Chains A and B, each alone.
Chain A
């Protein structure tokens, strides 16, 4: 079964603090893709990153970084020096290479950055 778990429902941090959002996934596919999306208060879903199952190299993009570990089936997302504009709900998602084209979303983590 395909499943994405985001155990953190809500997180609050003070501006400039670092914060890590956890994502754990389950899949039987040998090839799969992991994603993070941001949903700001305005409601749209904004793509942040895609990672395929063969690429465990961590990625950094500005203040954002992602840590993919197949051994623990985790794809965690870290925001460094958080800003108020980072306040949003963040969704982790999984797409399977062998079992169709559906995206499986986690339940989301609501991040509030306090000025």
Chain B
């Protein structure tokens, strides 16, 4: 069964360092997303990406964040200068269509900022 894969599963970094989280969405999906979940809290939308550009982003997704689909298969989330409050589980997701399909989530990348 096709699945969304994410790497790394866990990353520990120092405050102020840059972090790149990687995702490989399901191959025939067209819409890609990043969500985050601070420990024990709700799943929060960060950004959606379609046709090689951001289609929607939340207030959380400030200038420190960026996304890229560099090679047609990977979908990356970069945090330029990490803060303590960036510590969370980051989920990548993809879906086939705009609003009809369910989101398929990866297993998440846990980011710990020290």
Contacts and interface: CB of A to CB of B under 8 A. Distances in A.
* Co-assembled chains A and B: yes
Nearest to B95: A101
Interface size class of B (residues with CB under 8 A): 20 to 34
B102 A102 contact: no
Contact of B99 (A43, A44, A47, A95): A95
B43 A45 contact: yes
A105 B105 contact: no
Interface in B44-83: 44-45, 48, 50, 55-56
Interface residues of A, number: 26
A96 B99 contact: yes
B45 A44 contact: no
A58 B8 CA distance: 40
A70 interface: no
The secondary-structure label for the interface of chain A is strand
B45 A107 contact: no
Contact of A45 (B31, B45, B98, B105): B105
A45 B89 CA distance: 11
A43 to B, nearest CB: 6
A44 B56 contact: no
B42 A108 contact: yes
A47 to B, nearest CB: 5
B45 A102 contact: yes
Interface in B72-114: 89, 91, 93, 95, 98-108, 110
A44 B4 CA distance: 11
Given A43-B89, A100-B56, A33 B104 contact: no
A31 B110 CA distance: 34
Given A100-B99, A105-B44, 16 more contacts: A32-B99, A33-B99, A35-B103, A44-B106, A44-B108, A45-B108, A47-B102, A50-B101, A96-B99, A97-B100, A100-B55, A101-B31, A101-B95, A102-B45, A105-B42, A105-B45
Interface of B: 31, 33, 35, 41-45, 48, 50, 55-56, 89, 91, 93, 95, 98-108, 110
